[in-house]
Amino acid sequence: MKQVIPSTSLPDAENKLSVLRLEIDYELMTLHDALLEEDVAKSIMSKRRLRKLRREWLELERAPV
């Protein structure tokens, strides 16, 4: 998925979290589709992407505002 707005270019953490929420929602839809299609490779890639997004989310929550 191409990022429309890179999270590193946004000035404040609130905007970054909004972008991350959209990316997570999109990736969850992708995972859902992969599971329905029983596409193992696609679901594994989607899970990896979700783990990466989760780490980004946690880092933003810990960062001082």
Residue 3 lies in a domain: no
Q: In the prediction, which pLDDT does 62 show?
A: 85
Residue 36 lies in a domain: yes
Interval 47-63: pLDDT, tens: 999 999 999 999 988 87
Q: In the prediction, which pLDDT does 52 show?
A: 98
pTM comes to 0.75
| Residue 1 per-residue DSSP state | -
Count Cα atoms within 13 angstroms, Cβ side, for 1. 21
Distance in angstroms between the alpha carbons of the first and the last residue of the chain: 28
Q: Which domain holds residue 53?
A: 12-62
Low-confidence ranges of the chain (pLDDT < 50): 1, 7, 10
Question: Number of folded domains in the chain?
Answer: 1
Q: In the prediction, which pLDDT does 35 show?
A: 98
